Structure 1
Amino acid sequence: MTRTISSRVAGISLAVALAAGAAAPLPFALAADAGTDFGNAVTVSNTNVQQLIANVASQGENPVALNLHKYIGDPVATQPEYTGGQANNAADGLTPANGVQFTVRRVTNIDLTTVAGWQQYSQLRNATTPDAANLGEPTTLTTTDGVATGNFPVGVYYVEETVTPAGATAVAPFYIALPLPLTSGTGADQVVTGWNRDVHVYPKNQQVTGEKTVDDSRVYAGENIKYTVSGSVPAVPATNTFDGYDIVDDFDETRLDVVDNTIAVTLTGGTTLASGTDYQVVKGTGKFGVSLTKSGLDKLVAARKANGEQTRVVLSYEAKLKDGATPGEATNSAQIYPPNTANTNAQFTRDVINVDNPNRNVTPIDVPAVKTVLGQITINKVGENDAALSGAKFQLYRCNPGTTETNAGPITVNDTDTWTTGNDGSVTLPAIQVEDFYNNAAQQDEFDYCVVETQAPRGYALNPQPVAASITDANRTNAVRITNVKDNTAINLPTTGERGTLFAVIGGGLLALLAALYFARRNRAA
């Protein structure tokens, strides 16, 4: 039978433990998942090495096939673990990863056709980076339908994943002996019976995903928009640590101001990380980032072990919508820089990310952007002969759809609920959210905007009827024209507030009437 090597994300543990004496048989670990050491050891004798030379090394220039199977998913135990051919459950529920590139280089100072070579091989550890001077020319293998295959001479090879699937973490580099021994028996009775010239390896990539949400239902200038960014977490590698986790948020600084004291980071399961201790906030140009510190990364490792694939890092914050924001889309995107699970160095220096020029040695995950759609309403006030009228005051309301019936009080935008026309007879209400798009999705049109005149220009009659001023995602600006006629009574009264003025006018009229009656009665008496 042949042998299959199964690998977790951290890589493949292969080893030879040398017994006493250079000529003694060598116990050889066929394969092990990450985190296990030298299991299933089998003795490789000098006779076995001679068989290797006769039966494999003599079979042409490249007698051993290496098959790298790539799938997206959490590392799982491959069953049966050491079957030799393609494992019967390797792809269960997983997606083949195409276009993944591996660089395979021979370790030139190890000769597996000698006992000394096996002795050197016994000292290798995946966490040890080989001396570049001892590596041969690179061979690039690229996956198609999840498999990359190459043929090689007998030897030890160092395999690195050099092109990783989009949104996935890379597997750690690993060593592999080609070929691998075939065995019979178990335990101390296990012996080498031949050599596997068709080696299958199953390192798995883990897909890291990101999501962004926005809560901006009925928000206006001067108010805060709530954002969350969440990212998944790969499995903990054999080093039992993560070398980093960063989120960089890219916001529209022309329309948004991030509110610093609202920034918070939590982990699945309710763990809240402490700013300055577990993560650092980094500012840039139109960007800010959070970088987990060593303390935060340790908590992330614990959370991933406790919660598995459900673990997520969640960044939440609020941003103030600026006054005067121009019509358009206040977009907000993000990138997640996950741990580099191919990093075999457990002793690393953790530096905060440079948000303007990210310095992490990982491929970032682009998080789909969210947006707030803004429009504006312009009111043009004119009189007879289209003359511009200044001094007219208006308020903005939500009206029932398709009507001009107001369904709530006036809308406040940046602490203002009344707008006055200028000398050109116009006034613009900026940074007004459209009616039919919020929370980053098209919504049912629950209301239409309308404007109400609350005070007419001097000498003109008030027009108190609400006037439709709808703005939608498809039509983000609206210019409303409102005409006033001269007030022949010369009484110009507001519709809201200033009730005392109204009563004073009425009272004055009554006094004038009483005075007229008094003088008329006195004249008759005379």
Structure 2
Amino acid sequence: MKKNSMTIRSVTFAAVAGLSLAIAAPGAIAVAQDGAIGQPQDAQTANINFTQKGKLTIFKRDLGGGQATEGTGVVVENAPGTALEGVKFKIQKVNVDLSKAENWNKLSELTAAGALQKGIDQSFQELEGTTDQDGKVEFTQLPVGIYVVTETEAPQGVIKGAPFVVSVPFTDANGTKWNYEPVVYPKNTKAEASKEVSDANKQQGDDITYTVKTPTPALVRNQSVKKYVITDDYDESKVTPKKDGIKLTIAGEEIPSDNYSVEDTDGQITITFTNFEMLNAHPSSQVVTTIPATVKAQGEIKNSAGVTFNNPNNENEIEDVTIPTNEVFSYYGEVNVVKEDANEAGKPLQGAKFKVYRSDDTTCGNGDDVRIFEDKTFETDPQGKLKIEGLHATNIEDNNKIINKTFCLEEVEAPAGYVTPKDENAWHSFKIEATPNKEGDKVVSGGTIEAASVTIKNTKQSTPKLPMTGGMGVGILAAIGAAIVAAGAWFARRTARN
């Protein structure tokens, strides 16, 4: 019996120690942790005690891009990685009677899929548990047997590991004692995708640039990427992406365009890989996608993206990993100009002409202003009004960068009959203020953009002086008439005397 017991111990050790300690890879290390976290009972020698209940402790770790290492079945001191909270596990007992020696044959080669094919022991109700803040979950009161452990749920961005097999009891590192409380350290990676927007100093009609950074999964052994789809959701009412301008790189190297296809449908860009060679050559890396888009309307412009790829840890399952990015926002508003007569309140002036500039400070007309809408001069309508749309916010750019810029109006021509202002009098400043909508620290849809208002007044031109008429002219005529009358009277008297 002693010889048989040693065989059982060796097979059990091989079955579990052969699992991987890997990033997002199949397997785990199951170890008898004497004096370590979990404090297993004293390992028992000699024959298996089939009446004793066992316990399985799982510590879920994020290896964070570290390299995969083969399990050795020894205690893992200071296990690498960080704890992963919120990972849900399911444990099922396999329909294998370990009291029969023949059932130990080829146990070292047993995979999770193979174990499940042997059937589930219906006398044992499957258990579920979720890791706590320490990445720990325990399953207690386990009868002696073979168990399949499956990750059923994981937090966003966590790539679920493959199901693995563990036995209760398990042999210690030396293969000399039975441990009824094994501890396992399955490893995962927490992959993240991100989104950026570059819209500084871009107005309506200009191109802004979206940058999407998506992860490639970690790979071990013969794993490979077989599916990789990047999506970019945009607001088709406000921007128009340029398909021909899209570029992808990985590890600083441009990915040839014949490695993927690009579709633009219903406000979504979809980039589908058809050649995975460069992705498989760069596991645990990033694909950087740049998408130029033309701004065509004002308002709050929201954009988000994401990536979907096959989970390389679950080759036998139809399971994809989808990782969304953060949302990014751009803000565009308008200015409303009113032109009036300076001396006649409420009298609108048509035909005043303006150019628009951007100032990177708060001063206009100091020589460092940059003209925008270069090919356009704006003119007031018959109501003396002018609306200029599609102006970038002056307090926020590139999604969340706080700035303090100014827009400037230069009056280049006054309405006919009015004075065109000169020097500093020709310049008028205004700002476009955006207020993002927040839920806690997170920016969400619903931000507002305050329109600017500017009222500008003109004075009439001076006109030539007209000849004077009225009181003074009539007096002169009267005096001339009186003189004529007097002269006539004098000549009449003189004639009478003669």
Q: What's the TM-score, normalizing by structure 1?
A: 0.71
Distance 1:477 1:183, change over 3 A: closer
User: 1:70-104 deviations in whole A, cap 9, x for unaligned?
Assistant: 011245567993235xx2121x3x22111211111
User: 1:399-428 deviations in whole A, cap 9, x for unaligned?
Assistant: 473433243566333x64211112222111
Match of 1:517 in 2: none
One-letter code of the match for 1:312?
Q
Is the aligned partner of 1:303 residue 2:282?
Answer: yes
User: 1:357-376 deviations in whole A, cap 9, x for unaligned?
Assistant: xxx94453332222222121
CA distance in 1, matches of 2:417, 2:282: 71
| Residues 91-490 of structure 1 aligned to structure 2 (within 5 Å) | 92=80, 94-108=81-95, 110-119=96-105, 121-126=107-112, 128=114, 130-131=116-117, 134=120, 136=122, 137-144=125-132, 145-151=134-140, 152-182=142-172, 184=174, 192-268=175-251, 270-275=252-257, 277-293=258-274, 295-296=275-276, 298-304=277-283, 309=284, 311-322=285-296, 325-326=297-298, 328-345=299-316, 361-383=319-341, 384-399=344-359, 401-408=361-368, 411-413=371-373, 416-445=375-404, 447-464=405-422, 465-473=426-434, 476-489=450-463
One-letter code of the match for 2:164?
F
Match of 2:468 in 1: none
Which SS does the other structure have where 1:483 is aligned?
Answer: strand
Which SS does the other structure have where 1:301 is aligned?
Answer: helix
CA distance in 1, matches of 2:401, 2:208: 17
CA distance in 1, matches of 2:88, 2:315: 19
Deviation, structure 1 residue 299: 1.8
User: 1:365-389 deviations in whole A, cap 9, x for unaligned?
Assistant: 3322222221211111122231222
Which SS does the other structure have where 2:242 is aligned?
Answer: strand
Deviation, structure 1 residue 451: 0.7
8 Å contact 1:410–1:417 — kept in the other structure? Answer: no
Distance 1:33 1:272, change over 3 A: farther
Distance 1:115 1:133, change over 3 A: closer
One-letter code of the match for 1:374?
Y
Distance 1:35 1:164, change over 3 A: closer
Which SS does the other structure have where 2:182 is aligned?
Answer: strand
Distance 1:399 1:283, change over 3 A: closer
Match of 2:58 in 1: 68
Which SS does the other structure have where 2:326 is aligned?
Answer: strand
CA distance in 2, matches of 1:58, 1:23: 17
Deviation, structure 1 residue 258: 0.5
8 Å contact 1:225–1:319 — kept in the other structure? Answer: yes
Deviation, structure 1 residue 392: 1.7
CA distance in 1, matches of 2:222, 2:71: 25
CA distance in 2, matches of 1:24, 1:97: 37
One-letter code of the match for 1:106?
K
One-letter code of the match for 1:69?
F
One-letter code of the match for 1:468?
S
CA distance in 2, matches of 1:68, 1:388: 78
Match of 2:74 in 1: 83
8 Å contact 1:170–1:342 — kept in the other structure? Answer: yes
One-letter code of the match for 1:435?
T
CA distance in 2, matches of 1:120, 1:432: 71
Match of 1:14 in 2: none
Distance 1:433 1:422, change over 3 A: same
CA distance in 2, matches of 1:75, 1:127: 27
Q: What's the TM-score, normalizing by structure 2?
A: 0.75
Distance 1:485 1:203, change over 3 A: same
Distance 1:343 1:288, change over 3 A: same
How much is the aligned-residue C-alpha RMSD, in angstroms? 3.2
Which SS does the other structure have where 1:364 is aligned?
Answer: strand
Which SS does the other structure have where 1:219 is aligned?
Answer: coil
Instruction: After superposing the two structures, state which structure 1 stretch, 375-384 or 115-124, moved more.
Output: 115-124
CA distance in 2, matches of 1:130, 1:400: 67
Give % identity: 27
One-letter code of the match for 1:150?
F
8 Å contact 2:359–2:369 — kept in the other structure? Answer: no
Instruction: After superposing the two structures, state which structure 1 stretch, 467-476 or 129-138, moved more.
Output: 129-138
CA distance in 2, matches of 1:285, 1:337: 19
CA distance in 1, matches of 2:238, 2:370: 23
Which SS does the other structure have where 1:473 is aligned?
Answer: strand
Which SS does the other structure have where 1:381 is aligned?
Answer: strand
8 Å contact 1:226–1:316 — kept in the other structure? Answer: yes
How many residue pairs match? The answer is 416
Structure with max Cα Rg: 2
CA distance in 1, matches of 2:131, 2:330: 41
User: 1:439-460 deviations in whole A, cap 9, x for unaligned?
Assistant: 2233442x42111122222232
Distance 1:204 1:251, change over 3 A: same
8 Å contact 1:374–1:476 — kept in the other structure? Answer: no
